[in-house]
Structure 1
Amino acid sequence: MSASDTKKAVAAVLVRRADPEQDMQHVDEIHRIVNAAYRSDAGWTHETHLIKEERITKEGVKDVLHDKVNLLLLAFDSETNQLLGTIQLDPAEFYPDFGEYEKDGHATSYLETMPKENQIFLGLISVDPLQQSRGIGGKLVREGLRYAKETMGRKQAVVYVLFQRTELAEWYKRIGFVDYGEKVPYPDQARTKQEDVHFTVLRMAL
């Protein structure tokens, strides 16, 4: 796809907040897209070689749609109304604490002083593998960051990336995220397929 075609494709993507009444019809498609992005080898962002089981169930999708704290944004093709991807904005003060990463005595000198009430976690970031390489993921993240800043009043965005996914961490860095050397453990080691699966923490000022 040429640069001009990519710009046109990105311009055709509409990102909006999910509505539980309007978007309940999309439960099956959200379920398919999220699990295709995370749990199949169809998309370059997948984790299937690292994590077992579905990323989210259909019941989980319904819960996310009704969640009034952790807000879901959806991306659509503005011309066809086809669902393209998802991103969830999780206020840090309600985000679970995964504990300290202590493997091999790991320690970081970085200390985050930003109050949690000013931070937003980005999660459930997925793009239909059939629609990737159109700039949809970048637009989803940028629109999520804008919403978090302008509507939710957040001053810092945080994303957890599996340590083994270095190419994904580099993608976030190109957007503006920074790696300060922080790590956190994966919360459910029973679901991992390898030893020492953990997260790299990336942060970005808004």
Structure 2
Amino acid sequence: MEPQHPDDRTAYRAATAADVPAVVELVESAYRGDASRAGWTTEADLLDGRRTDEAHVAEVIGQPDGVLLVAERGGEILACCQLEHRGDRAYFGMFSVRPGLQGGGIGRSVLAEAERVAREEWGVGALEMTVIEQRTDLIAWYERRGFHRTGVHSPFPYGDGRFGIPRRPDLRFETLTKTL
């Protein structure tokens, strides 16, 4: 999982326990608080509180049927995503890119590497993810990359602080899929 792509200097690898603090900082910077407003993936208008914590990231890294993929340059983690092998599909989540780098192609590159891992290393035929339905700009980005809305919704876990503190009462997730 360390292939180099000829079009960039980005290296991909599985995160380790030593990466937990850097991954937490990256995810928080991409989605929550004022720092996240430097990028376009912010959820700061929808949710307060934390997006993740060290215990959750360590749990993801330790999953036997998954990987937390990190993209780095010069030893600095620039982006990450979670992949979880689920039979004939892979769950894609915790996708984060440093706010100042968003819109520069690193996200597309990480998604392509995640697709490669799922297809070539796991032999799965599709990626599946959930996105907060109200994130229409983000859903549109995924649609431009081949994901399709399924119309399958799941409730937002109100009252579970691990997912943040909702700023509105109508949040819910929609499942998106992409055939590989």
**What is the TM-score of this pair, normalised by structure 2?**
0.85
Deviation at 1:28, TM superposition (A): 2.1
**2:20 and 2:54 in contact (8 A); partners too:** yes
| Identity rate, percent | 30
Q: In the alignment, which residue of structure 2 is the partner of 1:36?
A: 29
Cα separation, 2, equivalents of 1:44 and 1:123: 17
After TM superposition, the structure 1 stretch with the greater mean CA deviation from structure 2, 136-145 or 51-60, is 51-60
Q: Is the 8 A contact 1:123 1:159 kept in 2?
A: yes
Q: Would you say 1:55 and 2:51 are equivalent positions?
A: yes
The residue that corresponds to 1:90 in the other structure is: 84
Structure 2 residue 133 is the aligned partner of structure 1 residue 163: yes
Q: 1:146 aligns with which of 81, 97, 116?
A: 116
Q: 1:196 is matched with which residue: 164, 167, 170?
A: 170
Decide whether the 8 Å contact of 2:89 with 2:126 is kept in 1. Answer: yes
Secondary structure at 1:46 match in 2: coil
Provide the residue aligned with 2:75 in structure 1: 81
How large is the RMSD of aligned CA atoms in angstroms?
1.9
Deviation (angstroms), 1:146: 1.0
Counterpart-to-counterpart distance in 2, 1:62 and 1:200: 26
Residue matched to 2:12: 15
Amino acid at match of 1:169: I
What residue number does 1:130 align with?
100
Residues 109-141 of structure 1, C-alpha deviation per residue, up to 9 Å, x if partnerless? xxxxxxxx1011101100111222221111111
TM-superposition CA deviations, 1:25-74 (whole Å, max 9, x none): x3222111101111132321111222232111123222322222231100
Higher helix share: 1
TM-score (norm 1): 0.75
Report what 1:100 is aligned to. Answer: none
More strand by share: 2
| Residue aligning to 2:162 | none
Letter in 2 for 1:196: D
Q: Which stretch of the first structure deviates more once superposed, 60-69 or 80-89?
A: 60-69
The alpha-carbon deviation at position 189 of structure 1 amounts to: 1.3
Q: Which residue of 2 aligns with 1:173?
A: 143
Equivalent residue, structure 2, for 1:68 = 64
Given that 1:36 and 1:43 are in contact with CA atoms closer than 8 Å, whether structure 2 keeps it comes out as no
Amino acid at match of 2:14: R
Where does structure 2 lack aligned partners over 5 or more consecutive residues?
Answer: 160-164
CA contact (8 A) 1:70 1:89 kept: yes
Contact 1:36–1:42 (8 Å) recurs in 2: no
SS of the residue aligned with 1:11?
coil
